[in-house]
Structure 1
Amino acid sequence: MDIQRAQDIFASKDNIAVHLDGEPVWIERVDAANGMATVQVGSRPTDVQTVGVDRLEEQKR
């Protein structure tokens, strides 16, 4: 995924499925300057990771 798409998904009011290494994630923050995103993995609010947006995959319907 590119940084612009990550920002679009983060700003969207729609529920857009995103995965990291096959696991569903919620984008909590996008750091455009560094190409990074902070994501919550699955439904575990304590499992938060900061990863390169290039590792995120949007799940097409």
Structure 2
Amino acid sequence: MNFSFGDRPQNDDFIRKFDSKIATLDFIQITLRQNLLKVIELENVLKKSFYSLLVKTGDYICLKTLNL
């Protein structure tokens, strides 16, 4: 098969497989974004917990060093 620039293959099976791969990549992208948001949320919780622990123990030198 020879295609010129801009031609699209007329093979429906090829198009279906291509569309399926795009849908799979979209799903993966959405999943990765959701996981990234969870990681950011967990990071914020850990920072707050760590800060709280340092305040409770009175480790202000460590707080100042970490810029918390």
Q: TM-score range by the shorter chain?
A: under 0.3
TM-score w.r.t. the length of structure 2 is 0.22
Structure with the bigger percentage of strand? 1
Structure with the bigger percentage of helix? 2
TM-score w.r.t. the length of structure 1 is 0.24
